[in-house]
Structure 1
């Protein structure tokens, strides 16, 4: 089979398309013929050994896939060859076949395209956990979404609206602001590129406050981090919830006196942790996502599709923050 392999530490340009042995499913595993693989920030980090997961090389990146069951491992029940599914692989998705644990696999509805299914689990799974479990977002509350044109940001706009929140999208260009409004954001603001000095940080905080209104944001969804975090936190409402999603702009250092003055919570969001600790809750969330998808309230927005041999370009495109929505690598025919 063909696979796009990382053979040494480096960027996506170091990936090599090679022929490799077909994986065999073990106990409790499924072998999947991959049709589509969604690209996420961890796919770039894992290549540079900057991610918490460090697989032995050579390996193929790609943490979530959609495809068809090809073979069953010993003891697997309830699945059959030909079944459609989406699955979390953590890595290995940029290949024609992969082995996944049954626990990480979810049936894909017959009317949901493979490419959209591949783009659902990590971004929308993270976001429903963030806004429902950790953020406790209620109808009528104000939700500020940073990085609102990226994969998780788009998910936060759609799920925030599905929960009845007023959604304020914060993005880095007017093009992305227009995209956020089309996706349902009630308002959008454009911020500059960091790093910011003290005065620029104050100006950004003032922009956030103006965008969310005088009462502040009841919940802030931050998949960006870096110099954007503190200005956003200063715009939080009394007893608001600041949701820590990720750090593509760097890990921020937040002055904790703000948490005291605002009476607010800073809450971490780790969907992989929920998967490990409460898989039944994850399945409830995925069922809700499929329900919202069937109602037209959410739909993965795919900006670009790449073939397997150009999977490195797909990762580079995401790393350069060019994407509006999701990037998907189409591996096989559906």
Structure 2
């Protein structure tokens, strides 16, 4: 299906952004590939849309082809799962719980499509898709062929991947996972908030269905489960990633925090780096839940979510994001980086 001058805002969780010159909706892998080839042959820009949960689209819209991937497919063979890129991620997770399989239960309620999960290496509550993805099937625009990339070739890292690093090359078609039959139990709990909820130590397992329900409850309490009636959920989820600091950066940050008699969160990260909390930084820099008096504000439930209160423009949202980024830099010397993909705009 093809539309001209098509509104994009309704296709995003922020409900922001101008129209696309052309919108194509693809229901099969062949339709996806045909649309990509047509755009590439015409030399026009291509924007791939899934659930629109991780996008900030400029008010001017998109001057090329927006490709909405609406493919379907949920195939379970024992503990091996294959998802079509257009499958609704939250629904797919719920089906794995119904099947009694662990591996993605702590990623419950995350909006968006399955095809977006490897791009961002989606993660929450101590779990990442990189831990269970075995292969990603994608259309390689450079080679003009369908390729299957094993986990090791995807270059997964914190909220990053090969697909995010080279966004003009790959269009994800299918994602394959290796789940676990743990006799109705979850994977080991890695996140302190979840462990506290269940009264267990980290690395312990809990009931799989209860883990799924608990995460949905925790996310809903932070406005991170979509609800059209609740403007706190009109967001792109966490707007900033948690900063990962090298030893020199961390020492400088720690000195500023100590000077203000603050104890900053710190978590070990690879290569001697230290991860700290973006939410903590935002709050301690003076931006509390609900901050803002305009049409774009921080969520009243979570400082990491920038929200559209119903009448915002993308520029309203970006003005707030820049104010927060600059305020955190001034207070702590740490540069916040946006997590959503920017289309036609930048911070």
Q: Same fold (TM over 0.5)?
A: no
Name the TM-score, length of structure 2 as normaliser.
0.29
Q: Which has the higher contact order (CA 8 A, sep 6+)?
A: 1
User: With structure 1 as the length reference, what TM-score do the two structures score?
Assistant: 0.30
